[in-house]
């Protein structure tokens, strides 16, 4: 029964993670709806409305007692603070990349991130790593290297996106907090900074939401759902799924965004990019369609 339960959790985790990465993959279409609203304001409202959504849910599910215990533990406070800084920094980097028209570099970061997640799962969390995953990882590394060389410089935005999200994923994997309590605490920590920012912006004559039209108001409120629900599903799924599997699933979102960029936004896609991405897509196909029973051997130094 325990084994069946474990398999059921793995399947449910994969389902949750696929939902999350679908939402994250189509977000370029979502952010297009906001028009001229400053990206810094969107970030602030993401934090505020996520907190306002998650905090009542915490009370309705009778988990407020667990939330009240968080300030008592210094270790939990540190973990929550690090999670908040990591995910907040990741949001900010994505906004900065969009504002400065460095979306290609940001996309590279989203493609490098799964490699780092896989390596973290193998060498830090000691998860089993089979041969077909090693082959796929090698293809991903070569493909990412080609794209990096095509950019022609050290991609700092991409690297920082990798660091912030891998840090967040690792902390969510190892934290003793439940998913809902953890995310609620993270948004509550960021909440005062978001509110102060909007108050300051209003004081200098840049008020958004308070004097916006109905469409702007509804869009800004919707950022709470768009942000918190995927994070909640991610926090649940990441506890039950191997990091090495999670790493390859993560390619789903940037691939979806890439298709949106090419066929909807008509962005430039060079032959060099096609070569690099083709290697990455081949790696994904290997992981998804390789019959597990044909590869009973494990990678060197790993146990089944």
Tokens of 98: 């969009």
Residue 297 lies in a domain: no
Q: Is the pLDDT of residue 304 over 60?
A: no
In a domain, 219, yes or no: yes
Name the DSSP class of 100.
T
Q: Given this model, what pLDDT does residue 234 score?
A: 83
Q: Which of 269, 253, 262 is nearest to 26 (CA)?
A: 253
Determine the structural domain holding residue 44 and report its residue range. 2-129+155-241
Residue 24 inside a domain? The answer is yes
Q: pLDDT, tens digit, for every residue of 217-273? A: 888 999 999 988 888 888 788 778 876 677 677 778 888 877 887 788 777 788 998
The answer to whether position 296 is within a domain reads no
Q: What is the pTM of this model?
A: 0.77
| pLDDT attached to residue 295 | 40
pLDDT of 292 strictly over 60: no
Residue 82 CB neighbours (<10 A): 16
| Average pLDDT of span 173-198 | 85
SS3 250: coil
Mean pLDDT of 202-231: 81
Total structural domains within the chain:
1
pLDDT tens sequence across 37-89: 888 888 899 999 999 998 888 877 766 666 766 666 788 888 888 999 998 89
Contact 109, 164 (CB under 8 A): no
- Domain contains 259: no
Least confident stretch, 169-173, 203-207, 215-219 = 203-207
**What pLDDT is stored for residue 44 in this prediction?**
92
Please list, in sequence order, all residues whose beta carbon lies within 8 angstroms of the beta carbon of residue 90, skipping any fewer than 6 positions away. 161, 164, 165, 168
Report yes or no on 139 lying in a domain.
no
* Inside any domain, residue 106: yes
Residue 265 within a domain: no
Q: How far apart are CA 213 and CA 26, in angstroms?
A: 25
Contact 243, 173 (CB under 8 A): yes
Segment 9-22, tens digit of pLDDT = 778 888 888 899 89
């Amino acid at each position: 029964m325990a084994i069946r339960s474990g398999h059921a959790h793995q399947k449910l985790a994969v389902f949750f993670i696929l939902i999350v990465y679908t939402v994250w993959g189509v977000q370029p279409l979502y952010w297009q709806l906001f028009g001229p609203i400053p990206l810094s304001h969107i970030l602030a409202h993401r934090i505020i409305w996520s907190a306002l959504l998650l905090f009542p849910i915490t009370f309705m599910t009778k988990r407020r007692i667990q939330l009240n215990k968080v300030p008592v533990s210094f270790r939990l406070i540190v973990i929550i603070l690090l999670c908040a800084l990591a995910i907040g920094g990741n949001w900010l980097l994505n906004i900065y990349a969009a504002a400065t028209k460095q979306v290609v570099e940001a996309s590279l970061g989203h493609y490098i991130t799964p490699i780092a997640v896989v390596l973290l799962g193998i060498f830090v969390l000691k998860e089993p790593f089979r041969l077909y995953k090693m082959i796929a990882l090698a293809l991903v590394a070569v493909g990412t290297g080609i794209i990096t060389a095509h950019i022609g410089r050290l991609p700092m935005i991409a690297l920082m996106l990798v660091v912030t999200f891998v840090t967040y994923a690792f902390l969510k994997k190892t934290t003793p907090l439940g998913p809902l309590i953890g995310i609620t605490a993270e948004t509550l920590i960021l909440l005062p900074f978001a509110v102060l920012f909007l108050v300051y912006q209003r004081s200098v004559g840049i008020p958004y939401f308070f004097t916006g039209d109905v469409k702007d108001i509804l869009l800004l409120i919707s950022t709470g759902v768009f942000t918190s629900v995927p994070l909640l599903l991610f926090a649940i799924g990441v506890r039950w799924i191997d990091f090495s599997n999670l790493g390859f699933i993560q390619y789903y979102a940037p691939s979806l965004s890439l298709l949106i960029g090419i066929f909807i936004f008509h962005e430039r896609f060079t032959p060099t990019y096609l070569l690099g991405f083709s290697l990455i897509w081949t790696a994904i196909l290997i992981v998804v369609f390789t019959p597990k029973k044909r590869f009973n051997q494990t990678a060197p130094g790993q146990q089944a």
